[in-house]
Structure 1
Amino acid sequence: MRTLVVDHPLVAHKLTALRDETTDTPTFRRLADQLVTLLAYEATRDVRVRETEVTTPVATTHGVTLSTPKPLVVPILRAGLGMLEGMLRLLPTAEVGFLGMVRNELTLEASTYAERLPDDLSGRQCYVLDPMLATGGTLAAAIRFLTDRGADQIITICLLAAPEGVARVEAELAGTPVPVTVVTAAVDEKLNEKGYIVPGLGDAGDRLYGSAGS
C-alpha cells in the first residue's frame, strides 16, 4: 500500500480552516469540496486513458481520453457524500457507486449496511471517498468489498489520516495483489481513546450534515 500526503500550500490552507472549530457547516462543506478537488488532482495522476485522434480548427492531432470501463467513484456513506461533488468536478464522466458502512463505537469494527455497486468490478479502477482514516477498519473493509468483486486498483481519498489507521489498513491488506493508494492532506499525530484523530477536525459527518442520524 502506498500513502501519499499532498504537500501543497492551498491544501494546507484549506485543511487549517476545516480544523477550526468555529467554521460553520456551510463553510465546512465548501472547503471540503474544494480540498477534495485538490486531492483528486493528485489521486488521478494514474487514471487510465487511451490514445485518440482529434481534429482542431487548424489540424488533426493525437490526444487521450478516459479508457473504458470508466473509473468508479465510491463514497462511503454518509460522510463520503460530502466529497462526491469535489471528485466529480475533476472526473465528470466517472460512474458512481455507493457503499454504506458503519463503525461500532464499542468494538470500532465496521459493517456494511447498504451498497449500490455493480456485481462485477473486473478491470475497474475505483476511487473510494472517506473523509477520515481513523482506526482503518471501515476503509479496510471497503477495500476488501471492492476487491472481492474484482476491482484491480483502489485509490482512496481522505481529508485526514491517523498513523494507526494507515498501519491497520496496510496490515489487513498485506498479501493483496491489488494495488492500493491512500491520498490525504495530512497524517496527524494519533488516535484518542475514543478512536478520533488528534488534532483532527472533529466528526466529519456531523460537521458536514449535523448530528441527525449520528
Structure 2
Amino acid sequence: MVFNLSDQNSVVKQYLSEVRDKALQRDPSRFRRNMERMGFILAYEISKQLTYTKSVVETPLAQTEVDVPASLPVLITVLRAGLPFFNGFLDVFDQSPCGFIGAYRKEGGEAVTINLDYLATPSLEGRDVLLIDPMLATGLSFTRSVQSLLARGRPRKVYIAALVAAPDGINHIEKNMPVPFDIWTVAIDERLNDKFYIVPGLGDAGDLSFGEKL
C-alpha cells in the first residue's frame, strides 16, 4: 500500500513548504530541522502499523498493563541525503538498531545507474525494516538496496519511508520489490524530468543539508 501524509491537512505541510522554498533553502540549519521534523512525524505514523504486545510496568503507586512494540524495527538510511530525515526517525525509535547504505546515482547517459559501495547493518531476518531516503525518484535505489540487504537476512516487511515520491518510482517499487512492503511518503509529486529528478521536488537534499559536493 501507499500512504501519503499530504492526503490530509496537518502541520507537516508547513514543514514541506519550507523545504521546497528556494529562498528558505539558503539556511541549511532550518532545512535540516524541517527534515528531522517530518521524519519524526512519518515515523510516528508508521509506528501505528507495527505489532504490539502486552507488558506490565511498576509505577510508584501500582502495577499497570501497557502496550509496547513486540520488536523494534531496524532503521536503515541511505548516506548522506537521508541523515537529517533519519534523525527524526531515530528520535521516535530511539532504541532501534540501525544500518547504513552508501548508494549514489551515476550521472550521464539516458538511463539511471545506481551504485552501492557501502553496507553496514545488523541481521534483518524476520525483522521490520524502515528504509529511509527522502527522495523516491526512479525507485531504483530502494529496490537495489533491498536486494543487497537480503544478504543480511529476509525482513518480515520493509517500510519505504520517503519525503517526496514520484509516480514512476512508486510504480517501479510496486513491480520489483522482492519482499512485503508499504510505501510511506509526505507527498507525491507530479513527475520526473528528463534527468530523472522529481518535479516540483525540492532539489538535492544532500547538498541542501550539508553543502554542495564536488
TM-score between both structures, scaled by the size of structure 2: 0.91
Name the aligned partner's letter for residue 84 of structure 2.
G
Q: What is the rounded CA distance, in whole Å, between the counterparts of 1:73 and 1:140 in structure 2?
A: 16
Q: What is the rounded CA distance, in whole Å, between the counterparts of 1:194 and 1:100 in structure 2?
A: 21
Match of 2:65 among 62, 65, 88: 62
Q: For residue 170 of structure 1, give the secondary structure of its aligned residue in structure 2.
A: helix
Name the aligned partner's letter for residue 93 of structure 1.
Q
Name the aligned partner's letter for residue 167 of structure 1.
N
Q: For residue 186 of structure 1, give the secondary structure of its aligned residue in structure 2.
A: strand
**1:35 CA displacement:** 1.0
Match of 1:92 among 69, 94, 100: 94
Q: For residue 211 of structure 1, give the secondary structure of its aligned residue in structure 2.
A: coil
Unaligned runs of 5+ in 2: none
**1:82 CA displacement:** 1.8
**1:80 CA displacement:** 1.1
**1:83 CA displacement:** 1.5
Q: For residue 85 of structure 1, give the secondary structure of its aligned residue in structure 2.
A: helix
Deviations 1:154-208 (A, max 9, x none): 11211100001111111112xx3x3211111110000001111111101111111
Residue 141 of structure 2 corresponds to 138
Q: What is the rounded CA distance, in whole Å, between the counterparts of 1:80 and 1:25 in structure 2?
A: 14
CA contact (8 A) 2:53 2:69 kept: yes
Residue 165 of structure 1 corresponds to 169
Q: For residue 47 of structure 1, give the secondary structure of its aligned residue in structure 2.
A: coil
TM-score between both structures, scaled by the size of structure 1: 0.91
Unaligned runs of 5+ in 1: none
CA contact (8 A) 2:74 2:124 kept: no
Q: What is the rounded CA distance, in whole Å, between the counterparts of 1:194 and 1:113 in structure 2?
A: 23
Corresponding pairs, count? 207
> Structure 1 pair 152/145, CA: closer, same or farther in 2 (3 Å)?
farther
Q: Does 1:122 align with 2:125?
A: yes
**1:66 CA displacement:** 3.0
Aligned pairs for 1:64-79 within 5 A: 64-68=67-71, 70-79=72-81
Name the aligned partner's letter for residue 152 of structure 1.
R
CA contact (8 A) 2:33 2:84 kept: no
- Decide which moves more: 103-112 or 187-196: 103-112
Q: For residue 76 of structure 1, give the secondary structure of its aligned residue in structure 2.
A: strand
Q: What is the rounded CA distance, in whole Å, between the counterparts of 2:148 and 2:54 in structure 1?
A: 32
Q: For residue 58 of structure 1, give the secondary structure of its aligned residue in structure 2.
A: coil
Q: What is the rounded CA distance, in whole Å, between the counterparts of 2:84 and 2:61 in structure 1?
A: 42
**1:109 CA displacement:** 2.0
Q: What is the rounded CA distance, in whole Å, between the counterparts of 2:163 and 2:205 in structure 1?
A: 9
Percent of residue pairs identical: 33
Deviations 1:111-144 (A, max 9, x none): 21001113x4211111111010001110111122
Q: What is the rounded CA distance, in whole Å, between the counterparts of 1:85 and 1:59 in structure 2?
A: 35
